[in-house]
Structure 1
C-alpha cells in the first residue's frame, strides 16, 4: 500500500485538483484531474489494480491506462509524495473514477515559483533588535 509522505508533504484537493507541497524543498505539485483522482485513491489506501479497474469502467478508456497509472505512481514515489506502507489495502468499495471529456492524462506538474516563500521562516529569519516585520536593505 502507499500513503502520503506526511513527514515532507502537505496535500489537499481543491475543486478536484490535488495540490501537494514539499516543505523541505519548497516545491509544489499539481496534477491533472485524473491524476488527482488516482493520488487521492492511493492516499485512501486503494490498490493500484482497483484504481485501474475503476478507470477502465469508462466506455472510452484508453487501452494502456494500466501502464499510464503505473508510470504516474512511479513519478509520485520518485518525488517522495507517496511512500510504501506495509498496511493492507483498503477493501472498501471504490467508486468509478469518471473521466471527463476523454482526458486520460496523468500529469504531475512541478512548480518552483513560490519556493523562496515556502522555505522562508519569518519567525527565525529576523534580527531581534530590528523588530518584525522589517525588510532587509539591499547591498
Structure 2
C-alpha cells in the first residue's frame, strides 16, 4: 500500500541542520542552500522525519491555521526543489512538541533559495584543488 502523503529526503546529497529551531538545508550536488520561516522549519522537520502531511493540516502556526492549500503549496515547492520525495514508508507519529513549537511561530510557511556560495560548496576541497594553491582554488580541467 502506498502512503501518498509521507515524504523522505530526496537524496543523500541533501543534508540539514537545525539551529535554535531554524532548519538550514543544503544540497551538496548543486551547492544551493535553503532557509525556512520558523513555521516552515517545523514543518520541514516533521515531513523529513516521515510524518504524514495530512496530520499537519489544521495545526496552528502563529496567528493562523495551516490549511490544505498552504501545506500543499509548501510540500509541492519542497518536491519541486528536489528536497523531498514521496515515500512508501509507514507514517511516523506527530512529535508532541511540534504543536507548541508551531503555536510559538510568527511567520507563514516559506522557503528561500540561496546559491551565493554554490561555487564553494560544490568544490571537493580534498581532490579538486590546484596543488600549490590549495583550497578554494578550483583545479582547471586539462
Count of paired positions: 131
1:100 pairs with 2:79: no
Q: 1:90 matched to which residue of 2? A: 92
Measured in 1, the distance between the counterparts of 2:76 and 2:126 equals 36
**CA displacement, residues 9-51 of structure 1 (integer Å, 9 cap, x when unaligned):** 0111111111100011000000000001111111221111111
Displacement of 1:100: 3.2
Measured in 1, the distance between the counterparts of 2:102 and 2:133 equals 53
Q: 1:75 matched to which residue of 2? A: 77
The 5 A counterparts of 1:1-139 are 1-53=6-58, 55-56=59-60, 60-62=63-65, 65-91=67-93, 94-95=96-97, 96=99, 97-100=101-104, 103-128=106-131, 130=132, 132=134
RMSD of the alignment, in Å? Answer: 2.6
Displacement of 1:66: 2.0
Instruction: List gaps (5 residues or longer) in structure 2.
Output: 1-5
Please identify the structure whose Cα radius of gyration is greater.
1
Q: Are residues 111 and 20 of structure 1, via their aligned partners in 2, closer, same or farther at CA, if it must alter by over 3 Å?
A: same
Q: Are residues 2 and 59 of structure 1, via their aligned partners in 2, closer, same or farther at CA, if it must alter by over 3 Å?
A: closer
Measured in 1, the distance between the counterparts of 2:18 and 2:48 equals 12
Contact 2:16/2:23, CA 8 A, preserved across alignment: yes
